[in-house]
Amino acid sequence: MEKKFVPIAIKGEVKDGYVTVVRYDRSFIARIIQNDAAKAYYSEIKNHCLSLGMRSRISWKGDAFYLGRKTFLIAKVRGRTLALYLALDPAAHDEKVYHHLDVSAIKAYENCPMMIKVRSELALRKAKKLIAEIAENAALAPKDREKTDYVAELPYEETDALIVKGLVKEIESVMKAEEAEKAIAEAEKEEEDEEVIFELAEEDEEEGSDAAAKEEAEVAQAEETREELPEEKAEEEEWVDFELADEDDDVEEVIFELAEDGLVREVRYDRSFTARIIQNARAKHYYSALKNHCLSYPLKSRISWKADTFRKGRSVYLMMKVRGKTLALYFALDPKAYDAEVYHQRDVSCYKCYEKCPMMIKVRSDLALRKAKKLIDEMMEKAEFTQNEIETTDYAALYPYEETEPLIERKLIKKIERKLSKEESEKVIEEDLLTTPASEAATEEAEAEEEEEVLFELAEEEAEEEEGEEPSEETEEEPEEVVFDLVEDLSGEMEAYSAIDREGRYVTLKKYVRGFAAKMKQGSVERKDRYAAVKSAILALKNVKVRKSFAGETFMYGRQPLLKSRVRGKTLCLFFALCPEDYPTSVYHQKDRSGVKSFVDTPMMIRVKSDLGLERALRLVAEIAKRFSLGKGTKESFRDEFFFEETAALVEKGLIKTRLVTVPAYEAEEMLRKKEK
């Protein structure tokens, strides 16, 4: 007897009543392996196609039968049913005979627009008849070929064994224990409901052996005009949505790296929704607020590879996705009913997967967050749902930042590598595409040209570094970040003039110099999260300690500095104890600071201003561990180390230094003007 597949399960406890829930994404082969009925029909269909000279190409979602560049048939599994997509015109075939569906409007099936389901011997014979028609149209002649018993070749296996083989993917999420139990019950009920639909159809088809025999005789004699039980339209629509879940989604992140043999390696990262949330501080913040708002209504959350869907029963009201670095919401609302100048919405109803949620907005500000909540409230009011008081959950804390490698190990990110040919490599190098997609290239250019927030002192300091001049050990090696305020009183020592008073000779200003800790505390959340990830990685190495100073932090192994951190303007700069010449500039965009005395031991400087920059930094931390033979120690999180504080409090703590300076009025005017900018 075929065992029942459980699509969702509790994997383990987290803390405070929360559990880790895992959903299973089964490949086509996994579905065939765990489905004896579909397996038998699949074996017959595959042997029939191969006997006509077609070739088979198995992907994650199906088995395509083709010859050359022409695809004749695609086999997929939905529920417990084998579905076939045929390269035939649906309009040219009697719907009462084949009960087929026209899917030509779906881009994925443009070449195979006629879909039928095979769940009985009668349907199998109809499928073979249609395949014979395809072969006739393509002038394919039958060939003598020994049949393969795919039923025997693909014996039943448990889900755990298929996970090990990579035929089933695990998608993890965190939720309350009671919510997890409800989600499991709902998932099992949906599986049962789906099976009931198919079983009822087959019972009606085969009711009475005499009727079945009579029908088969009629089919054999003529054009099979008897009507079968109509198929459930709602079930079929759900199948189409399932197949098109990846339409209009973000493409995989692709980077090009230079391999040791001089060829280029193409690396693709396909991030799940959970991984995108984990690695995106801003989207995570808005996601937490909106998820709590949705769950205050009687909605349930279901996290898949690409989205978090909020539904009631089978009705979907909202989908959340991460597009690039932005949280995107898809509402079950009419986009034309809302003012585009207010909500800046996009109509995505042209995509099949968004038919039920055609109104898309992006949430990347507090104002957009308020608008999104307003739309949710309006949608729930139309559905006559009442909002309840619930205990809010900090999902941002439940999904702390993790590096890419652990997420790959947890199967939340798929990494695909491919070595390019010599010709392809030369083209990538010629077009300067090494690890710099268009958006990243623009970021790097901006980094190179950006003027730091240190006023006039920056240019002088950079000039000294380029010339190889060494600042004294008593002074900081980098320019101070300074801000000036006009002082109205200098204790009677000198009359203070207005900065715009051109007739005065001198004015007195207060100079604020921010240290590293102050810059981090008053900096962006993204910069804090990225630095926390780097700091966690370097301190996870055995016997590595951190030494803090006003200018920054230095990570030491005994007396050997491994890494120094600084903030210049708005940019996190890291200095590694590595030789800059050993690494390709086109990959890391590093600067050689060996001419500056303070960085003689840590000469390789990189800037970290993006998630890609963070990945480079973490790779260099791994290089540090390799170079100094450092083992792994205990890993800690430093995510909440730099809470925001006002300037006055930081001055009191000594994290911002102040002093008075007296300058000519025209210089003071220029300094204050730069401050205002």
Residues whose CB is less than 8 angstroms from the CB of residue 298 and which lie 6 or more positions away in sequence, other chains included = 312, 385, 386, 388
Contact present, 7 and 115 (Cβ < 8 Å): no
Residue 432: how many other CB atoms lie within 10 Å: 10
Residue type, 522: Q
Q: pLDDT (tens digit, 9 = 90+) per residue, 339-389?
A: 888 898 999 888 888 889 999 999 988 888 999 999 999 999 999 999 998
Q: How high is the pLDDT of residue 39?
A: 92
Q: How high is the pLDDT of residue 371?
A: 93
Indicate the DSSP class of residue 610: S
Contact present, 520 and 655 (Cβ < 8 Å): no
Give the burial string for 167-197 (b: 16+ CB within 10 Å, else e). bbbebbbbbbeebbeebbeebeeebeebeee
H-helix or E-strand spanning residue 268: strand 264-271
Residues whose CB is less than 8 angstroms from the CB of residue 492 and which lie 6 or more positions away in sequence, other chains included = none
Q: pLDDT (tens digit, 9 = 90+) per residue, 542-600?
A: 889 999 988 899 999 888 899 999 998 889 999 999 999 888 888 899 999 988 888 98
Least confident interval from 131-135, 151-155, 257-261, 356-360: 257-261
Please, which contacts does 46-50 make with residues 24 or more away whose CB atoms are closer than 8 Å?
Answer: 46/75, 46/148, 46/150, 47/145, 47/147, 47/148, 47/150, 48/128, 48/131, 49/73, 49/131, 50/145
What average pLDDT does the structure give for the chain? 77
Q: How high is the pLDDT of residue 16?
A: 67
Q: What is the mean pLDDT of residues 26-55?
A: 92
- SS3 label, residue 581: helix
Q: How high is the pLDDT of residue 636?
A: 79
More confident: 243 or 21: 21
Give the integer Cα–Cα distance in Å for 593 and 416.
35
Report whether pLDDT(310) > 90. Answer: yes
Give the integer Cα–Cα distance in Å for 457 and 524.
23
Q: pLDDT (tens digit, 9 = 90+) per residue, 98-111?
A: 989 998 888 888 89
Give the integer Cα–Cα distance in Å for 605 and 589.
9
Give the integer Cα–Cα distance in Å for 625 and 607.
20
Report whether pLDDT(220) > 70. Answer: no
Residues whose CB is less than 8 angstroms from the CB of residue 95 and which lie 6 or more positions away in sequence, other chains included = none
Report whether pLDDT(431) > 70. Answer: no
Least confident interval from 425-439, 560-574, 638-652: 425-439
Residue 540: how many other CB atoms lie within 10 Å: 16
More confident: 15 or 161: 161
Residues whose CB is less than 8 angstroms from the CB of residue 565 and which lie 6 or more positions away in sequence, other chains included = 516, 531, 534, 535, 552, 553, 554, 572, 573, 574, 575
Tokens of 476: 């900081």
3-state secondary structure 116-171: EEECCHHHHHHHHHHHHHHHHHCCCCCCCCCCCCHHHHCCCCCHHHHHHCCCEEEE
Residues whose CB is less than 8 angstroms from the CB of residue 127 and which lie 6 or more positions away in sequence, other chains included = 45, 84, 116, 118
Report whether pLDDT(308) > 90. Answer: yes
Contact present, 509 and 661 (Cβ < 8 Å): yes
Q: What is the mean pLDDT of residues 317-322?
A: 94
Q: pLDDT (tens digit, 9 = 90+) per residue, 164-178?
A: 888 888 877 777 777
More confident: 210 or 428: 428
pLDDT band at 489 (very low <50, low <70, confident <90, very high): very low
575 has which bridge partners?
Answer: 564, 605
Could you tell me the pTM of the whole model? 0.38
Q: How high is the pLDDT of residue 253?
A: 66
Q: What is the mean pLDDT of residues 182-193?
A: 65
Give the integer Cα–Cα distance in Å for 625 and 590.
19
pLDDT band at 280 (very low <50, low <70, confident <90, very high): confident
pLDDT band at 89 (very low <50, low <70, confident <90, very high): very high
Report whether pLDDT(643) > 70. Answer: yes
Distance from chain centroid for Cα 189: 29
Give the gyration radius of the chain's Cα atoms.
32
More confident: 661 or 418: 418
DSSP for 340-380, please give it.
Answer: HHHH--EE-TTSGGGSSS-EEEEE-SHHHHHHHHHHHHHHH
Report whether pLDDT(492) > 80. Answer: no
Q: How high is the pLDDT of residue 512?
A: 80
pLDDT band at 246 (very low <50, low <70, confident <90, very high): very low
Least confident interval from 249-258, 422-431, 563-572, 646-655: 249-258
Domain parsing of the chain, residue ranges: 8-223, 253-406, 452-677
Q: How high is the pLDDT of residue 352?
A: 80
Q: What is the mean pLDDT of residues 600-611?
A: 92
Q: How high is the pLDDT of residue 673?
A: 66
Contact present, 377 and 371 (Cβ < 8 Å): no
Residue type, 571: T
Tokens of 175: 């939720």
Give the integer Cα–Cα distance in Å for 558 and 549.
17
- SS3 label, residue 532: helix
Say if strands 346-347 and 114-118 run parallel, antiparallel, or are unpaired.
unpaired
Report whether pLDDT(189) > 80. Answer: no
Q: pLDDT (tens digit, 9 = 90+) per residue, 501-529?
A: 444 456 777 778 889 999 999 889 899 99
Q: Is the backbone of residue 277 left (phi > 0), alpha (psi -120 to 50) or beta?
A: alpha
Distance from chain centroid for Cα 423: 31
Least confident interval from 64-68, 76-80, 423-427, 481-485: 481-485
666 has which bridge partners?
Answer: none
Report whether pLDDT(247) > 70. Answer: no
Residue type, 338: Y
Q: Percentage of the chain surpassing pLDDT 90?
A: 33
More confident: 276 or 486: 276
Q: pLDDT (tens digit, 9 = 90+) per residue, 433-463?
A: 676 443 343 333 333 333 333 332 322 233 3
Indicate the DSSP class of residue 558: T
